[in-house]
């Protein structure tokens, strides 16, 4: 792969890998809570059912994308990436500035454990069934975000496989660490990862939307790296500015 | 709330975290499209409008949320 291809494949793999780490850690916390409280049968059943549903969606919907004209696909994917990526970046900047509380996997694990323990055991809806549904929902919802990110950053020619490999590597890494430590992965620097992913998805969003509308970026694919740098510097500057107490007192 | 409603709500939430942010991004994309295809603006200039427009939108959204949180 030449330098230009790496210019766009690198951010695609990195975005898919880091985003998947964030999402898989969140899903793992819920599955761990289900497995710990109600046993591994409903947890594994719910997880496998969700992965099967995700696989079905990818297999059915994935091939349809090739029938969409490239410029339309770039605009739609670009705009969705802008909406999704800038949403993540906004939250990451606010968390980095101390305006919004950080995501706490231990607290989420405790809350989910409490919810599962409070489920009444009914004949028509046994506890294991509801616990399995909780695992199914968590894996499906977080997995849908991973699928969207992989398809969106992999929308360029030859990028789908690098992005998918990035996401798969993240899943394997989180599961391996999770199985070893067997508790919520609270030490993952989630906001740093979200910040990076928000930056990369926003840059991809500007890049694809611009290309879809007819912008020929200088340096072609390498322009993506410049866009990543601009969003990163701007995001860091915004977080630093919002962190300043002067802003608080001037309001 | 049914499982499907919950999934639909979460999916919508993926793209609509802040209504004003979403609206501003969509308006910006429409402006850039009009610049290129209706007004014949140099696409590179329109690309710059898209990039700096996005930065302005995220700056406004974070500053607005910071003000709101600190006033609470």
> Helix (H, G, I), strand (E, B), or coil: what is residue A125?
coil
Q: What is the DSSP letter of A123?
A: S
B41 within some domain: yes
Q: What's the pLDDT at A251?
A: 45
B2 within some domain: no
The structural domains of chain A, with segments of one domain joined by +, span 3-241
B1 within some domain: no
- Contacts for A205 with CB less than 8 Å, ≥ 6 apart: A78, A79, A80, A81, A82, A83, A84, A85, A86, B54
The more confident residue out of A245 and A216 is: A216
B67 within some domain: yes
Structure confidence at residue A122 as a pLDDT band (50, 70, 90): low
Residue in the structure block whose two tokens are 């993240």:
A170
- Give contacts of B33 with chain A, Cβ < 8 Å: 213
Selecting from A80, A94, A234 the residue whose C-beta is nearest the C-beta of B15 gives A80
Q: How many domains does chain B have?
A: 1
Show the domain range for B34. Answer: 16-71
ipTM of this predicted complex? 0.91
Selecting from A97, A144, A251 the residue whose C-beta is nearest the C-beta of B11 gives A144
pLDDT digits (tens, 9 = 90+) for A126-156: 777 778 888 898 899 888 888 888 888 887 7
**Tokens at residue B65, please?**
């949320």
Q: Are the beta carbons of B58 and A140 separated by less than 8 Å?
A: no
Selecting from B3, B14, B21 the residue whose C-beta is nearest the C-beta of A90 gives B21
B4 lies within 8 A of chain A by CB? no
Q: How far is B30 from chain A (nearest CA, A)?
A: 10
**Tokens at residue A14, please?**
């990195």
Distance from the Cα of residue A61 to its chain's centroid: 19
- Contacts for A7 with CB less than 8 Å, ≥ 6 apart: A221, A222, A224, A225
């Amino acid at each position: 792969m030449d330098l230009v291809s790496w210019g766009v494949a690198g951010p695609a793999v990195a975005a898919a890998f880091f985003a998947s780490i964030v999402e898989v850690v969140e899903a793992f916390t819920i599955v761990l809570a289900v497995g710990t409280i109600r046993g591994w049968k409903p947890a594994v059943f719910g997880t496998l059912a969700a992965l099967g549903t995700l696989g079905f969606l990818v297999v059915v919907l994935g091939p349809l994308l090739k029938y969409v004209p490239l410029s339309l696909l770039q605009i739609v994917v670009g705009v969705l990436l802008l909406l999704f990526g800038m949403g993540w970046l906004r939250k990451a900047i606010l968390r980095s500035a101390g305006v919004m509380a950080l995501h706490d996997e231990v607290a989420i694990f405790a809350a989910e454990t409490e919810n599962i323990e409070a489920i009444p055991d009914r004949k028509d809806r046994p506890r294991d069934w509801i616990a399995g549904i909780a695992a199914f929902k968590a894996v499906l919802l977080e997995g849908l975000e991973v699928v969207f990110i992989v398809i969106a950053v992999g929308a360029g020619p030859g990028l789908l496989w690098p992005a998918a490999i990035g996401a798969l590597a993240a899943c394997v890494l989180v599961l391996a660490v999770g199985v070893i430590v067997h508790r919520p992965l609270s030490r993952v620097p989630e906001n740093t990862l979200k910040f990076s992913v928000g930056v990369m998805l926003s840059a991809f969003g500007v890049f694809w939307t611009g290309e879809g509308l007819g912008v020929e970026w200088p340096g072609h694919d390498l322009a993506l790296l410049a866009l990543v740098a601009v969003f990163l510097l701007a995001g860091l500057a915004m977080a630093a500015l919002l962190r300043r107490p002067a802003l608080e007192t001037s309001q | 709330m049914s499982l499907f409603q919950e999934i639909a709500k979460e999916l919508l939430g993926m793209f609509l975290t802040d209504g004003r942010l979403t609206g501003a991004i969509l308006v910006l994309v429409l402006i850039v499209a009009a610049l290129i295809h209706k007004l014949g603006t140099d696409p590179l200039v329109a690309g710059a409008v898209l990039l700096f427009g996005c930065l302005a939108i995220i700056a406004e959204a974070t500053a607005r949320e910071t003000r709101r949180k600190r006033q609470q």
